[in-house]
Amino acid sequence: MAVVLAISVLFLGYALISGWTRGAWLTAPMVFVTGGLVLGPAGTGVLDGTVPGQVVRILTEATLVLVLFSDAVRIDLRALRRDYHLPLRLLGAGLPLGAALGALLAWGLLPTLGLLGAVLLSAVLIPTDAALGESVVADERLPGRIKQGLNVESGLNGGLVLPVVVVLSAMAGNLEDAADSAPDWVFMTAQEVALGLLMGLAVGGLGGRALVLADTAGWINGTYRRLFPLALAAVAYTAAETIQGNGLLSAFAAGLLFGTAARSDRRFVHQFTEREGELVSMLTFLLFGALVIGPRLGDVDWRIVVYAVLSLVVVRPLAVAVATLGTRLRLETVLFLGWFGPRGLASIVFALMVVEQFDTAVSDRILVAVGVTVLLSVYAHGITDTPWTRSYARRAQDLPSSAPENAEVTEHPRRWPDPGPPPER
């Protein structure tokens, strides 16, 4: 009962100041991670491991599915078809380059991991989390090309990296069979990506179309209309996992097609993630602080801290700078894209998967490094999120329409009207 009371009081306390913190340097993830550190074994011990690690992983994974689905719903596929260049650069060049740089850095700073462990750590940390940069993806004053590029990247990179993490974890747990089984693992990775995408597109497209037809016929009421997208995200994830596909990639793909097929219902997805989804996300960050990183703070050394800092301030920004060569984007835009790649839910889920796959000193070292990096990201990106987004948005509004930040979007205006909110039933 003490655990429930402490968590409830924390939620109530933050609720009272949540209006003040919106637009301030203090963010909800910062508050709840700090609350987890205070309540966990590293603090008061109220949360002392009574929550099993598997529960933490399930909750984190469910939250990530919801975030991926809702982020995908925000994306305008028609605009994306017109300007896919920036997301393609970030994913096609920035992601593998960042992973390679991160692996080299880990190999040099954390030699006990070995080469395979260094590559695995880098893969776990390469996905970004748009939920930790909420004001970036929500600020309508930002150039649409920049905002959508970050949103698409954060939605897809976790799903694309997941099969790689699974393969590397299996290789690390069975080093003696790694060389012989390499072709099988490559095939498994390709299969997971393909099946995940196909299942997500099928579920999202058919689900969105079914909702539109049911609403037109008057078969569905307002309450279940709001719950429909949540259930659809769960179906996309579980159906893909059932056929050995990538569930996270499936959830994102489902959100993409659902947002296109049922455009008038996108606002219900946003409302849910801003209300009920916020509760689940913050509970996840609280448990991360209490049970994932809190008990392992004693295992942190200077090498892990240096790696975490360089991963945030050097590895990603450098990879993004190389990926955007030739785009003529302004220096501040490149720095903005490079900095706002916070590490969050996906990295936590992947690190817990690694420990579950093979529980050794190497996997525990990876979990500590990931935990420290996510912890620093929560605070560093939380503090800089709103101030830099606001100042950059003001300067971006003064850019001419021919500027690279705007050109691709403004040259092709939307040709379809916003249907507006549907009537309540």
The CATH number for 376's domain is 1.20.1530.20
281 domain residue, yes or no: yes
Enter the tokens of residue 342: 């916070």
pLDDT tens per residue across all 425 residues of the chain: 678 888 889 989 888 887 777 767 788 889 999 999 998 888 888 877 656 666 777 887 888 788 778 777 877 677 667 777 888 899 999 999 999 999 999 999 999 999 999 999 999 999 888 767 666 766 677 887 888 788 888 877 877 787 788 778 777 766 555 555 667 767 777 788 889 889 999 999 999 899 889 888 888 887 787 788 888 999 999 999 999 888 888 988 898 888 888 777 767 666 666 666 677 888 888 989 988 898 899 999 999 999 999 999 999 999 999 999 988 899 999 999 999 888 888 888 888 888 877 778 888 999 999 999 999 999 999 888 888 888 888 888 888 777 788 765 433 333 334 444 444 44
Range of the domain at 269: 27-410
Angle among Cα 295, 300, 303 to the nearest 5 degrees reads 160
Burial environment of residue 373 by CB neighbours within 10 A (0 to 12, 13 to 18, 19 or more): buried
10 domain residue, yes or no: no
Burial environment of residue 12 by CB neighbours within 10 A (0 to 12, 13 to 18, 19 or more): exposed
- When divided into structural domains, the chain yields a total of 1
Contact partners, residue 345, CB within 8 Å, separation at least 6: 60, 63, 64, 67, 129, 131, 281, 284
Q: How far apart are CA 393 and CA 250, in angstroms?
A: 32
422 domain residue, yes or no: no
Enter the tokens of residue 243: 């056929």
11 domain residue, yes or no: no
Do 304 and 372 form a contact (C-beta atoms < 8 A)? yes
416 domain residue, yes or no: no
423 domain residue, yes or no: no
351 domain residue, yes or no: yes
Do 215 and 422 form a contact (C-beta atoms < 8 A)? yes
Angle among Cα 21, 22, 25 to the nearest 5 degrees reads 60
421 domain residue, yes or no: no
